[in-house]
Structure 1
């Protein structure tokens, strides 16, 4: 198995090496190769990503991705958005779990307000929200596939205002009916509140691109922050796994970043691309064992750094392998 490793920018350079070490311990058969993309490269070369890097990503069996800085500039195109579109990683799976709840947020990943159809003029700026039948059908089918052995899906939308969401909603309902999956619906603004007040009400949630981006960040509050949540960008041929958090330039290089989201992203890679749920489970058990000993980064109330926490997890994994 060949895995492309792109640390990206900021804290990606600190958390991804921890995740890579975990994979090396659990699966020494994996071949890793680095791919440089991101804002740092753009500053140095004028290109954040080229067709060459896209070909390298496409050649991999899976991609372990850090985080990239995207400045608010009209001249800079988001690296991760381009990768998602070029590799057709249409399903963004963001799990959130804790005491009494286990939620799978399924976000359409290639269209909507992140389609890249935009125009900036002197007195106006316009971003087109593209919602297609093909895109809606396949993300609804992906969500329904996850829900087959679960309680059902919740469709998050704003169909009371957006006609494009009327379209999306109707397609999701039709796909749920065809799959024999129970469905319910909720306006996305109300959902952002209710998921915090009553997370146990939700199972698989399917929604559009930007709504899913916002909802999953909101849901991070349930577990202690963005430093804990992984994600998988999944297509029919390719898959990329990355922490939900960004590049966090304010703490980059200070040994403060929490590597749990990156470690859990590595676990998702093992489960979804290496077909190795047992190894994936070891990562989660190692994280829990280390936290139970009081070893935590500062965002969780501890005083350990990225390196120290990562070393403890690696030692725990090595102990599991020996025993």
Structure 2
């Protein structure tokens, strides 16, 4: 398993890094392997066909990648599973270079490999966590979006596009000229908050109006939930019904206030649990006029203005 290859600076660097290195002929039979390969794969590898050492599920793709090495594209990188001598299933990554003669015919393949089991395990856990998160988000009816900081491109999932009034097939996950669709009354606030969030100076959590494809306005609540890998990922929901309900409540309160002022009446709100009372500006005047001897100032039920209403 040894040879004068140890004198080659490139192989010496690989050896110092505990990377695996080997060579195989045009038929993909191993000609040489270093001591790190031997520690993982065994001492009896020489002469074996490289793809046949891999699990059946990985053989065809890896062999095809190696066979695709030509003078114009002399290198490829592959990943595959490998069953070590102790029975452990590991992941290896190999960068394979072709060596050609003057006519462009392949003479040998030189390969440098490393164990990437921990990286693959981390990626598997990340993907599993992402799947769980997306399932949880789908169950709530929320949409998801992501913004790539380098390109400033936004991408929306099908549910987000539905909330925003766009067809997933027509928009391909992207909505052009996003700021032009934000309501003019919200635009300055939205842009200022987003610029701070994109610069890492604040958290993105914003409610604003957006014009849909049909021209209607929809209220959305957009929140960033992750910032990593050069992207900001978030969720959004349609809050139009809540905003309409809030507006109806405000309108109802305005009408009540107009009616009270027109009738020259006061309004009071008494909490049966705490004994607290809230009075409108007109109430004390009305009550004092009706009962001049009633002690208003300093009375506990007058001074404790608590807005909790009784629930039964």
Query: For the pair shown, which has the larger CA radius of gyration, 1 or 2?
Result: 2
Shorter-chain TM band: under 0.3
Q: TM-score, normalised by structure 2?
A: 0.19
Q: Which fold has the larger relative contact order, with Cα–Cα distance below 8 Å and residues 6 or more apart in sequence?
A: 1
Structure with higher helix content: 1
